[in-house]
Structure 1
């Protein structure tokens, strides 16, 4: 048995509320309707009773429908709430939506409105009940999917349909998920052409029922290339067939770049070491040989398999192995050691070598083993310089290219530069420079900085790292990062070693960024509208001069506040929710009221968008003072309120009562009364439309014109009329107001063209037309079909075409009435298409 539905109906017209209750319970026997005439009584009823849906009027004494809705939402955020009111307007609807209304329904003249209301109630209650059942599960799944940087996906078994994908797809592919939802294989268009066969093969493998993984490149729309790894798994049904495919894609771009750098560095080091005439050896912590250069195999005549894992003593005669062991003890204790021993050559000869051993440690100081370079010293006596260079090669094998090195001997005050430092400074390396010459390369304004830093390194043992300018001999000015580190032995600085790195590009970029920041501040503070930037916690982090001037707060005061502190319409939680819901790729526009430091209230229109501020996501809000516009709207609202509330509610009660009486008995007088009431209702409807539709359009959106015409045709009394839609155009318009325009044109055609009229809607170069084959347009100099009140139909209000003209003008369009093929033709031009 279907569950009952408890309805609370609030309306300050008791007669209307009772009549609505009677129609609703007749419509659906699941309804139990309780009526009350004021929100306070309704809130008391809600606290004491279980209610499934609230239906409320808007214009009521004391507290209106929006205020009542806000009060309900504070205690019952998920309770369905339908605003059923005669005071219908875009502003009321907008306020209701902002306050969290479930549905919005405008009171009409006939009793059919109660069937619509009943359907809205059933839909709202059933949807709420269903949503409560799935919310918890859906929330957990969504949170899980959105907490990962990986793309999580689910496809049909043949990859033809996307069943699920999380937002990480947009971050990695650079495409909106809408494209993937429209075409499940759209992601393949951005797979690197050389990798598509591998990807397709992996997809086919998973569709066949086995796990598949593949690494490939993705080319984003901005041209950026990313490396990804995809792991897919088939999900089988009860019969063992592949039902769907699940998996994840992980961005491995950084890993690939690191692997490439390691390969390049390894290749460079290996090529360099193999080019040496010296022997190069690397042993692990167990003294097993792990790495060597080609010279080891050439000298010893060994094969690679023979030397792998060999001990350091394997290459020397037995009578010298004790010396090798002593050198190993020394390198473990001090970090370095030198030993001269013979190496057993391939021909059996003993070749004298001098080995320099260096202990290897990781970044945390843990032992990795040791490395050794051995140089043939047979017949040679002065090898110190060459061995030192070999030692430097071992120590600098991992240095980044583009950095020049230097060393200052504190005893002799002699300066040594590496070859690359000579290149960087643009000078010849004919001789070693003096200390003064080394300092003279720096810009005259920066030399003192380097000189002071070097002095502290020599006197106090302080390391330094400064960014300064130097001037090359050709006059070119370069920015460099100059670093120095003292070498201390027995408490004394014996030398200072350092590096010089060219950072000109980086410094130029930083200066350009600083100029851009200054330009931004000039534009920001030059605006006439108030503007501020908020962080994701809802705190002001920037405010322009107009915000300071118009709110009356100082800049420091504003930067200690949040939007809720100056917003008279939104609380802190509402402001945070607005920020969280702010779309990333479009502007959010809404109205609110700001309160100044002296208590004045300023109505404003807020335009907010997501920006990057100082490297962090933030919200930029621009507030425009709309005080004058609000005054005009209030005067218009006063007129609409009188018509809507003071006339329509009594009229609705009268029509309802006539309907109830006619259900029991009928008479010609009752029929005439009903027709007169309907006539009055039509006049009121058109007057309200004219009063409330005059504003320029602000809410533009793409609209499929053909679909909207078909929808409007269903709302027009068409009898035996025929509609021909000859347009596939997509235009930019306010959908609701465009539908009013189209419905009025279609209604005009069916009312004046005869019961079997044919209405055609087609394209113009910059718009569209509505044409019928009926009686045509009346002629005469004094005939203006768009004039308010003009009508040839005694039952018409005369406002239909006037509303058409008004809606067109609100869009910036033109509408003209002309003669068609035997009938009337209305052309709407100046319409912008959405390509």
Structure 2
């Protein structure tokens, strides 16, 4: 046998001269092929015991056990090694039996001519096909092992949802029914969907079939006593022509998350009612104090009265911002696509920016809760005015990678040691600030699932970057 080769062939033939000739010709024909030889089936089995063999090339007419006998014994042992029957005479009965026994190919050895080009092509083709099959089987085993280890339902449907190509065992836990039922009737999972949600789910399925990626939350009745919440994410996979070939995705149980969200909403509602009551109780004596202060200032001119007036005004601001913090801090209303420039313009309407300059560098569509996003931007603008002065230049724009937006100013900036603390409630370095403005910004950003970071702008001022927004020209979240 030649040195190291990619494909190891075992050639079996009781004719020693022909054995050597074919082996040499095969190795000469393609240097990827190395040939081992055996003059009988028994000798061939011994060779396979001691050496790796990628393909068996065997004569049929041999004393004792024939090539067909050898093929049958190999296949009976569950061995799928490529087997090419290479015989001098064509025999329809032998050819038919060899096909039934699982032969890879059947080649007649002509008396005249060199068969090595044909044999080399068939050997290499058979071996590559078998290796590809093994790779696919290994990959399939790995994927199935991974699928069985996750709590999520992994699935693949045809483009019209009429055929189920794959589903893992987690379906039984999440939907409360055996996988055999959905395999026999792929759309039967709809039977478990809450009646009030079936139309929404069906409409979402149609959108995916049309090529749209969809995420949907809906209720599932696992039993008469138990109702669960499920989130499904569906991804259409297209072919070379851009048409939907199949639909893949996953479904997961989000019941605990939905219950947590519900309890959080209830908690926030209680907090808002409590804060409103406290604010009302505080404003009554505050109004009395403010009114009496005005009367006193009409009769007396004193810097102490001016100081008291500023203190009362700050108390009023504190009450407003405490109410804002208490209102739905961890939740947002439905998102809508809004132009970033429009959000910034709206946020500046409630601020006195007569001496300040507001520049909007770029704009794209943001999918957000418009009211709360405007509120966050308003607080960022106010922060610049409070800390950089009324003549500050504020710039708002879209980040270069379009992952979010920024607001920056040309003021003194925020020292690196203070950048983590600025979002804490009550933290302020301004004589006029309440310390709640940036805390509100952080809360609104978190409620959207975004992230905010403070850094230094090109002019040394404060720069706030909000990322994870998922900006794109169509207004769909990335």
- Structure 2 counterpart of 1:638, from 266, 286, 292: 266
Paired position in structure 2 for 1:717: 351
Assess if the C-alpha contact under 8 Å between 1:443 and 1:471 holds in 2.
no
Alignment length (residue pairs):
338
Q: 1:637 to 1:768 in 2, by over 3 A?
A: closer
Matches for 1:123-142 after TM superposition, within 5 Å: none
How far off its partner does 1:829 sit? 8.0
Matches for 1:102-113 after TM superposition, within 5 Å: none
Which segments of 5 or more consecutive residues in structure 1 lack a partner in the other structure?
A: 1-424, 428-432, 450-466, 480-502, 656-667, 694-698
- Structure 2 counterpart of 1:437, from 77, 87, 90: 90
- Structure 1 counterpart of 2:151, from 518, 528, 550: 528
RMSD, matched Cα: 5.9
Q: Equivalents in 1 of 2:234, 2:255: separation in Å?
A: 19
Q: TM-score, normalised by structure 1?
A: 0.32
Paired position in structure 1 for 2:106: 470
How far off its partner does 1:576 sit? 1.6
Q: 1:812 to 1:679 in 2, by over 3 A?
A: closer
Q: Equivalents in 1 of 2:218, 2:406: separation in Å?
A: 39
Paired position in structure 2 for 1:578: 204
Matches for 1:444-463 after TM superposition, within 5 Å: 445-446=98-99
Assess if the C-alpha contact under 8 Å between 2:159 and 2:209 holds in 1.
no
CA displacement, residues 554-590 of structure 1 (integer Å, 9 cap, x when unaligned): 2223344633322237443332211112275553122
How far off its partner does 1:720 sit? 0.5
Which segments of 5 or more consecutive residues in structure 2 lack a partner in the other structure?
A: 1-83, 110-114, 284-293, 296-308, 473-478
More helix by share: 2
Q: 1:504 to 1:573 in 2, by over 3 A?
A: farther
Paired position in structure 1 for 2:439: 802
Assess if the C-alpha contact under 8 Å between 1:731 and 1:833 holds in 2.
no
Q: 1:537 to 1:572 in 2, by over 3 A?
A: farther
Q: Equivalents in 2 of 1:595, 1:534: separation in Å?
A: 22
Matches for 1:79-478 after TM superposition, within 5 Å: 437-439=90-92, 442=95, 445-446=98-99, 469-471=105-107, 473=109, 474=115, 476=119
- For the residue of structure 2 that corresponds to 1:578, the secondary structure is helix
Paired position in structure 2 for 1:551: 175
Q: 1:677 to 1:832 in 2, by over 3 A?
A: closer
Paired position in structure 2 for 1:742: 377
Q: Equivalents in 1 of 2:374, 2:419: separation in Å?
A: 29
How far off its partner does 1:747 sit? 2.2
Paired position in structure 2 for 1:596: 222
Q: 1:687 to 1:715 in 2, by over 3 A?
A: farther
Matches for 1:571-720 after TM superposition, within 5 Å: 571-582=197-208, 587-597=213-223, 599-611=225-237, 618-644=246-272, 680=319, 682-688=321-327, 690-692=329-331, 707=341, 710-720=344-354
- For the residue of structure 2 that corresponds to 1:624, the secondary structure is strand
Assess if the C-alpha contact under 8 Å between 1:808 and 1:814 holds in 2.
no
- For the residue of structure 1 that corresponds to 2:208, the secondary structure is coil
Q: 1:805 to 1:714 in 2, by over 3 A?
A: closer
More strand by share: 1
Q: TM-score, normalised by structure 2?
A: 0.50
Assess if the C-alpha contact under 8 Å between 2:398 and 2:406 holds in 1.
yes
Structure label with greater radius of gyration: 1
Q: 1:595 to 1:769 in 2, by over 3 A?
A: closer
How far off its partner does 1:604 sit? 2.5
Comparing 585-594 with 730-739, greater Cα deviation is found at 730-739
Q: Equivalents in 1 of 2:139, 2:181: separation in Å?
A: 23
Q: Equivalents in 1 of 2:386, 2:195: separation in Å?
A: 46
Q: Equivalents in 1 of 2:132, 2:399: separation in Å?
A: 54
- For the residue of structure 1 that corresponds to 2:191, the secondary structure is helix
CA displacement, residues 225-250 of structure 1 (integer Å, 9 cap, x when unaligned): xxxxxxxxxxxxxxxxxxxxxxxxxx
